[in-house]
């Protein structure tokens, strides 16, 4: 368990206008706010950046916008810069296309345990349910499930008690709902910037290297719930190359990546992209 004020939430985004507005509204309505929120922006355009500047002052804790120029998919770089800037002892990672349950931070604070990282789950809202969401509107999961507008229902309900499995499995590693101790992320040198394209590099690789550090996960159902908004399927042409890199990391039991957060830790002030404080 950790004091929520020692939690840094990192929200990854790239031109997520309306989804990001829904996501941030979810963090405005938490039972317990985190210590800070960092928006890790992989090069969004002026419209999204203006939206972020409008919404930052409405959040219930200090919040900053970390941005770098759009030069293709460079999510791992902006995540490393967010890690270098984070003031909290514990990082909760999510994406801008996810709405957090009102007790999301409360749950992650309770689940935090030295020597482990946490893998939460997500359910999926279909196109109609996603399009009809309003900022701050309560997600009535049971009603959406009965209407056929929510899938992955086993991952979408907060149970009377959490179901937790402690393991080192690959199945179910997803970057949109992970939580780790900052010191553990620094020990593995953060995210591997050699990866290109979404998936694997920002989640499975980090999870695997934490396993090699002897940090198993707590695989959790019934707590720390996210509602994932519908979006078109993204290009997967890069996946075979990323999978080969991940396979090598697992085979060699690599702990530290070469191109990681260490680049931004020395004299990091002014080097972590553009920073826009609330």
For the cut 80, the answer to whether the pLDDT of residue 164 exceeds it is: yes
Question: Is residue 227 pLDDT above 50, yes or no?
Answer: yes
Q: What is the pLDDT of residue 242?
A: 86
If you average pLDDT over residues 159-173, what whole number do you get?
94
Q: What is residue 273's predicted lDDT score, i.e. its pLDDT? A: 41
Segment 46-98, tens digit of pLDDT: 999 999 999 999 999 999 999 999 988 899 999 999 999 999 999 999 999 99
The predicted-structure confidence for 135-155, as pLDDT tens digits, reads as follows 888 887 778 878 888 888 889
Lowest-pLDDT choice from 93-97, 180-184, 217-221, 237-241: 237-241
Q: Give me the mean pLDDT over the 258-269 stretch.
A: 83
Q: Is pLDDT at 270 greater than 50 in this prediction? A: no
Position 29 pLDDT exceeds 90? yes
Rounded mean pLDDT of 233-245? 78
Domains of the chain: 4-263 (3.90.550.10)
For residue 56, give Cα distances in angstroms to 21, 49, 91, 137, 261.
10, 11, 19, 19, 25
pLDDT level of residue 234 (50, 70, 90 thresholds): low
pLDDT of 278 strictly over 50:
no
> Average pLDDT in the 197-217 region?
88
Between CA 125 and CA 133 the distance in angstroms is: 10
**Which of 222, 221, 2 has its CA nearest to residue 109?**
2
Concatenated DSSP letters for the chain?
Answer: ---GGGEEEEEEESS-HHHHHHHHHHHHT-SS--SEEEEEESS--HHHHHHHHHHGGGSSS-EEEEE---SS--HHHHHHHHHHH--SSEEEEEETTEEEPTTHHHHHHHH--TT-EEE--EEEE-HHHHHH--TT----HHHHHHTT-EE-GGGSS--SS-EEEEE--STT--GGGEEEEHHHHHHTTSS-TT--SSSSTTTHHHHHHHHHTT--EEEEESSS-EEEPP-PPPP-TTHHHHHHHHHHHHHHT--S-SSSGGGGTTT-TTTSSEEEE-
* pLDDT over 70 (residue 236): no
CA atoms of 276 and 89, how far apart (whole Å)? 21
- ∠ CA 243-249-252, nearest 5°, is 135
Query: Mean pLDDT of all residues in the chain?
Result: 90
pLDDT of residue 18: 92
């Amino acid at each position: 368990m950790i004091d929520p004020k020692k939690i840094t939430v990192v929200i990854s985004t790239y031109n997520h206008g309306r989804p990001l507005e829904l996501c941030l509204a979810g963090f405005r309505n938490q039972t317990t706010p985190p210590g800070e929120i960092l928006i890790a922006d992989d090069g969004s355009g002026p419209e999204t950046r203006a939206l972020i500047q409008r919404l930052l002052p409405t959040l219930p804790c200090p919040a900053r916008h970390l941005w770098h120029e759009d030069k293709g998919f460079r999510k791992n770089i902006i995540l490393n810069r967010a890690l270098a800037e984070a003031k909290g002892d514990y990082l909760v990672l999510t994406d801008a296309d996810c709405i957090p349950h009102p007790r999301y931070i409360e749950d992650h604070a309770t689940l935090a345990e030295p020597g482990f990282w946490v893998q939460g789950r997500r359910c999926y809202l279909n196109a109609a349910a996603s399009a009809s969401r309003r900022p701050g509107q309560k997600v009535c999961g049971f009603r959406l499930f009965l209407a056929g507008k929510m899938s992955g229902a086993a991952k979408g309900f907060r149970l009377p008690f959490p179901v937790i499995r402690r393991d080192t499995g690959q199945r179910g590693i997803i970057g949109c709902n992970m939580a780790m101790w900052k010191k553990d992320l620094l020990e593995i040198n953060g995210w591997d910037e050699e990866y290109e394209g979404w998936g694997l590099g920002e989640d499975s690789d980090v999870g695997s290297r934490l396993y090699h550090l002897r940090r198993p996960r707590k695989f959790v159902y019934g707590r720390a719930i996210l509602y994932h908004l519908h979006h078109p399927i993204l290009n997967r042409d890069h996946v075979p190359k990323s999978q080969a890199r991940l396979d090598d990391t697992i085979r060699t039991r690599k702990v530290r990546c070469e191109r990681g957060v260490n680049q931004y830790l020395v004299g990091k002030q002014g080097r972590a992209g553009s920073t826009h404080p609330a």
